[in-house]
Structure 1
Amino acid sequence: MKGYSDLSPSEARGLCRSNEWIKPTSGMASGYTQANLVVLRKELAFDFLLFCQRNPKPCPVLDVTDIGSPVPRMAAPDSDLRVDLPKYNVYEKGVLTKEVTDITSLWDENLVGFLLGCSFTFESALLKKNIPVRQIEEECNVPMYKTNMRCVKAGPFEGNMVVSMRPIPSSEVADAVQITSRFPAVHGAPVHIGHPEQIGIKDITQPHFGDPVTIKEGEVPVFWACGVTPQNIAMNMKPDLMITHSPGHMFITNWTDEEFEVL
């Protein structure tokens, strides 16, 4: 029987579609690129695309659907964004009103889906160099934090960056930076190393999204820009409707991680 890391993208999405997998996707379908999801009404689509263009570290755009279509033609033309993620967050006027496993009833001809790069993509490269990925070891969600790092405003979209954190042995931090810098389309190199208080994180044991993980003696918290940033932005700008992935519950594309590696 296949392990969850050995699944093909279509098999992984099939488990999500049937609600057999409703937990974080880190380590699932290993070697295939994962993506954050943002769904907005077409009236906001250009401003959001501009926001992403101005903030490529937290919001690297991988694919954008046609208006009204739930199919990301470049990332996975055999998929359906309404059902192929484990869980979704629904924000109405900036308030998280529900977490669901299917957004079919919410979808209409005015919606546009955006797929943004995800740092889960470079985790396989870290593991190949024997650099630990703690949330995979502990079978939980990656910890994510709101910061004081301001994004560049675009139209009504403004606010602060969210980061994900992975504890890295101090002797391997330089290697982790070098490895992840080869994946600029999926957040790339870290935005901050150590000293969480410098970026506005008061308590490293209490992430705003995801789960806390163990930081062992001799390890340094390393922070990468995170695609949950738009959810933080939504809480500020309060659009009538924004649908996103539930943090850590990503969309698995048909692309391989190697396609996004710059050597």
Structure 2
Amino acid sequence: MTQNEKKTPVDVLVTGGTGKTGRRVVARLREQGVRTREASRSGKIRFDWADRNTWKAALEGVTAAYIVPLDASPSPTPAFVEQAVACGVERLVLLSARGVDVPGYFGASYEGEGPHTEGEAAVRASGVDWTVLRPGWFAQNFSEGVFLDGVTGGELALPVGDGAAAFVDADDIAAVAVAALTEDGHKGEVYELSGPRALGIADVLDDIARATGRRASYVDVDDSAFRAGLVAQGMPEAEAALWADALMPIRTGREAQVADGVRRALGRAPRDFADFVRDAAAEGAWR
């Protein structure tokens, strides 16, 4: 048996099964014939981080689990990991984030032990096979996420200056997750995930304009104006502060570093942002 020969588990639980990475993980697993349990707050298999009574039913009979954690402190991930191991789960793949182990990577809202750090510590100490995925900013934030309205509205205002990021395609994240869930050779690995090149926000909008004919302008704003804009849209001040601080690694250039996780896990280069834009445009993302 080669190192990465597939050993299909009896059942894989995907938490956040309707989210950006979760639904892609579910689709890939099912394409491979893996019995997959898609769990979410509104799905057929109900799973709610805030309701521990939903955890056991989601975990029963499962041999591997993809964990999309709740971004809250204290993190419920350690308790979930304990429950998963007690239910017989043998393999855990955790979605974390780039920079969680780098002091000062994010802003003040993220100082100290955060939910990702707590989750990583829990899977490491679980006693079962584990893999940690640390993606940077998702390319899909421009097509189905927080930046979409700015793109379609013609003006994207962000407090990132002339910073850049190697935006990672969520399809690559899902591909790495599926490999870690179904193959040998990923035990104890921490995969830093990024795209193959760094782009500034103006570069991103140029790529989208070339593919769609829809051009949006990038406007650099300061943190206070950005937060005030989010609050004016109804976002709580604390959450607005988290968003602003989460963007700091783009402003400082830390997200510009190209990581090798996709190549290490899959043996190929990550998808280019232009390829993501082409496919998203064909699917009608910015119509």
TM-score when normalising by structure 2: 0.28
Higher-Rg structure is 2
The structure with more strand, counted as a fraction of residues? 1
The structure with more helix, counted as a fraction of residues? 2
TM-score when normalising by structure 1: 0.29
Tell me: higher relative CO, structure 1 or 2? Use CA pairs within 8 A at least 6 residues apart: 1
